[in-house]
Amino acid sequence: MKVIVIIPAAGLGTRMGSSTATAQGRQRSKQFVELDGSPILMHTLRKFTACAQVDEIWVAMRKSEIEAFTPELAAAKLEKPVHTVEGGEHRQQSVANALRAANAAEDDVVLVHDAVRPFIAVETIEAVIAAVATHGAVIVGMPAVDTIKQVERTSDGAIVKTTIPREQIVQAQTPQAARYGILRRVIDEAEGEGFLATDESSLLERAGYPVHVVMGSSRNIKITTPADLELAEFFLSIEHHHPLSR
């Protein structure tokens, strides 16, 4: 059994705002914003190359960014093979491109992880791999802390319809994982029917596969805003001073 990691990194992301603008005024993709001198994406890659069970990694990127990132990737001399593939306009298309490029068997394990979640713990990665071997399809999630309201959108704003019990809610993180054959099948079916999902779990649920939850971490943040970047710098300082906390 082979373990393959797919990192969709073709999106631009606009919520980071002016912090992602280059000196020439062009917008940088958020995964290339630097954190302690390295792109966020590189920090994410290092977490997966540090996991002994991971065999290879595929990063789906825009064509122009593949050309720019390839020399930096080679210079990093990561411990596992990291391949690039051209991404699509949407996450689902990027994952599909990587699945088709990978030389995988039906029973191989595929983990899909956000490029801008660089604080995933190696122990969580290992737990996801083990859970896929047992259950077939898994996500990382955190119990909801805040009270959750279902609302109806109106021209005057949102109106609360009901309160959803927190014990029935988890906040989805990544990795989201499944056997290669299962994930390839649900993506191919969705594409054939013109259905576009925001994450892999949605596709698995839609196809009737039970998706199990592995406990995540409050540190496994998705860096999408300048405030997230400030928090990431704090987390990184903790990792530098306390390596065992990674």
CB atoms inside a 10 Å sphere around CB 187: 22
pLDDT bin (cut points 50, 70, 90) of residue 239 is confident
Identify residue 226 by its one-letter amino acid code.
Answer: P
Q: How far apart are CA 22 and CA 42, in angstroms?
A: 19
Q: pLDDT by residue (tens digit) across 121-178?
A: 999 999 999 999 999 999 999 999 999 999 999 999 999 999 999 999 999 999 999 9
What is the model's pLDDT at position 29?
A: 83
232, 119, 73, 54 alpha-carbon torsion, rounded to 10°: 180
The mean per-residue pLDDT over the stretch 188-203 comes to 97
Residue 68: inside a domain, yes or no?
Answer: yes
Query: By mean pLDDT, which of 22-26, 127-131, 227-231 is the weakest?
Result: 22-26
Residue 155: inside a domain, yes or no?
Answer: no
Q: State yes or no: pLDDT of 73 exceeds 60.
A: yes
* 26 vs 82, more confident: 82
What is the model's pLDDT at position 17?
A: 54
DSSP-derived letter for residue 218 is T
| Percent of the chain at pLDDT exceeding 90 | 88
Residue 158: inside a domain, yes or no?
Answer: no
Q: State yes or no: pLDDT of 193 exceeds 50.
A: yes
CB atoms inside a 10 Å sphere around CB 100: 12
Residue 202: inside a domain, yes or no?
Answer: yes
- Domains in the chain, number: 1
Q: State yes or no: pLDDT of 109 exceeds 80.
A: yes
Residue 195: inside a domain, yes or no?
Answer: yes
* 26 vs 53, more confident: 53
Cβ(196)–Cβ(92) under 8 Å?
yes
Query: Mean pLDDT in the chain?
Result: 92
Measured at the CA of 13, the angle between CA 7 and CA 14, to 5 degrees, comes to 170
Identify residue 153 by its one-letter amino acid code.
Answer: R
Residue 189: inside a domain, yes or no?
Answer: yes
pTM of the model: 0.91
* 202 vs 19, more confident: 202
Residue 164: inside a domain, yes or no?
Answer: no
DSSP states of 118-159 as a string?
A: TT--HHHHHHHHHHHHHHSEEEEEEE--SPEEEEEEETTEEE
Contacts of 211 (CB under 8 A, 6+ apart): 137, 138, 139, 201, 204, 205
What is the model's pLDDT at position 240?
A: 77
The mean per-residue pLDDT over the stretch 104-119 comes to 98
CATH code of the domain containing 99: 3.90.550.10
Residue 161: inside a domain, yes or no?
Answer: no
Q: State yes or no: pLDDT of 244 exceeds 70.
A: no
DSSP-derived letter for residue 199 is S
* 29 vs 182, more confident: 182
> What is the extent of the structural domain holding 34?
3-143+171-245
What is the model's pLDDT at position 14?
A: 54
What is the model's pLDDT at position 25?
A: 47
| Percent of the chain at pLDDT exceeding 70 | 91
* 18 vs 187, more confident: 187
